[in-house]
Amino acid sequence: MNAYPELTGGRFAVIADFENQAHMELVELIRTSDKASCDLSSKHARAATGRTGLRFVTASADDTIVISNRNANRWYLKRDWHEFDLFMLAIESPVANLSLELSIISGTGDSSQSATSSI
């Protein structure tokens, strides 16, 4: 919590801090290149926030990581976020000028809503 001033004094829920192998149930790698991989890594963790982190290696612009409940049996994403004011995702890259697209999609079919941001 000390690493993120945005959390001071507010209500928050941790979806996954990727400190536990069970959190990997939420992760699906859609791999289009042979070099794409996704795993928990202590080597690439940020000491201020934990001992491990989710490491995603990509070699193609089409390599994608999806975080959802689709394959989860023991760990689930929250379904109702209306009581929360902030959704935060921390991303670090060892590569300068990395181009990244993040999409948040809720619901299915005609009732789905989404937000996309490019970094």
Range of the domain at 43: 5-118
Q: How many domains does the chain have?
A: 1
Q: What is the DSSP string of 11-70?
A: ----S--S-SGGGGGGEEEE--STT-EEEEESTT--TTT-S-EEEEE-SSTT-EEEESST
pLDDT > 70? residue 1 = no
pLDDT tens by residue, 64-117:
988 888 888 888 777 777 777 777 777 878 778 888 888 888 877 888 888 888
Structure confidence at residue 20 (pLDDT)? 82
Structure confidence at residue 37 (pLDDT)? 92
> In the chain, pLDDT over 70 holds for what percent of residues?
97
pLDDT > 80? residue 30 = yes
